[in-house]
Amino acid sequence: MPHSWTRRDLAKLGAAGLLAGAGCQSEPAASEAAAPPAGLKIIDPHVHVWINDPQYPWPAENTNPPREDFTPEMLLALMEQHGVSHTVIVHPMHYRWDCRYVGDTLKKYPDKFRGVCRVNPEAPDAADELTKWTQEWGFRGVRLSPAANESGDWIDNRSLMDPIWKRAEDLQVPMCILTRPPRLPAIAALTERHPGLDVVIDHMADCPPNDLEQRKLLLDLARFPRMFVKISHTWSISEQGEYPWRDTWDLVKSVYNAFGPERIMWGTDWPVSLSKTDYGSTLRVVTDEMDFFSDADKSWILSRSIERLWPFS
């Protein structure tokens, strides 16, 4: 298994690639689509796109690439259906470190998308790769994915991490982190050494809803003023498994109370989320179900906190 790819990640991504054949890809009719709250702008800060095309070959180590395409044009149709004005595309794991497909998408639709690249955290030229993807391809963020097992131990290696984090700090591009709670102390240590960098914890670190010890590791990060959290993946971590995933709400509330609405944001994780739900439900759970958010909170969670990191003009 390549570093930074967990079996759990690949299982979810592989499931997304099988959705069309399983009939899970369908969206509700337009009349059932999530209607944006009046006057609120909506930006989706977390999606992926990919395509089966020899111009963008799958790396040799990806022995089970996705069969189905999920293209920016499919995404644009969903955005229009659900009132989403802009989107941040996170380079998918399928391509490993070749970010050209998302890069070409950013160049094709510069008014609609921002992008987050990936670099090989164990490569000696990782910082220079980040500069390349940022300056030559237009990416405005980088993602690191330290697994919770020993394959993610590179996150504790200062000689590997500090050059990447320092370059992101110099370039002023946010650092997105996909990991589990046991790795969060390492993220805290890196954040302390790079206080000028915005850091985003993806999907609440997939914290188990009822594990208060792991939750504390996440909430402790609120002490860093430039730390943000995506309150996404409620559909994934829920033990009930049914919309609106109420057993995750106490976790979401605790993140909201610790970080405030100005430092949290929603996100669909489309098309990975299609393994368990549809695009519209990942939005409706915030706009229609989580009644502990005020309209002012939703303004931050749905767009304003996102534009602090990824402004659209």
| pLDDT at res. 35 | 56
Residue 162 domain-assigned?
A: yes
CA distance 37 to 15: 31
Domain with 96 in it: 40-309
Percent of the chain topping pLDDT 90: 87
Reported as a single tens digit per residue, the pLDDT across 232-270 is 999 999 999 999 999 999 999 999 999 999 999 999 999
pLDDT at 21 over 50: no
307: left (phi over 0), alpha (psi -120 to 50) or beta: alpha
Domain with residue 291: its CATH number is 3.20.20.140
Residue 175 domain-assigned?
A: yes
Residue 1 domain-assigned?
A: no
| pLDDT at res. 39 | 76
The count of domains in the chain is 1
Listed in sequence order, the residues at least 6 apart from 305 whose beta carbon sits closer than 8 Å to its beta carbon are: 228, 261, 262, 263, 264, 265
CA distance 86 to 112: 5
CA distance 117 to 108: 16
Of 16-30, 159-173, 193-207, the one with minimum mean pLDDT is: 16-30
Q: Is the dihedral of CA 231, 232, 233, 238 positive or negative?
A: positive
| pLDDT at res. 3 | 36
Residue 231 domain-assigned?
A: yes
Of 8-17, 102-111, 212-221, the one with minimum mean pLDDT is: 8-17
| Summary mean pLDDT of the chain | 91
What is the side-by-side order of every strand in the sheet holding 113-118? 43-47, 86-90, 113-118, 142-144, 175-177, 199-201, 227-230, 264-265
Residue 187 domain-assigned?
A: yes
Q: In degrees, to the nearest 5, what angle opens at C-alpha 267 toward C-alphas 265 and 271? A: 170
Reported as a single tens digit per residue, the pLDDT across 28-48 is 443 345 555 667 899 999 999
- Average pLDDT score over residue span 198-208: 98
pLDDT at 294 over 70: yes
Residue 150 domain-assigned?
A: yes
Q: What is the pTM assigned to this prediction?
A: 0.91
> Which of 235, 224, 222 lies closest to 266, judged by CA?
235
Residues paired with 43 in a beta bridge: 86
CA distance 28 to 78: 10
Residue 17 domain-assigned?
A: no
Residue 237 domain-assigned?
A: yes
> Which of 58, 56, 51 lies closest to 74, judged by CA?
51
| pLDDT at res. 313 | 78
- Average pLDDT score over residue span 206-228: 98
pLDDT at 144 over 70: yes
What DSSP string runs through 94-144? GGTT--HHHHHHHHH-TTTEEEEEE--TTSTTHHHHHHHHHHTT----EEE
Residue type, 259: F
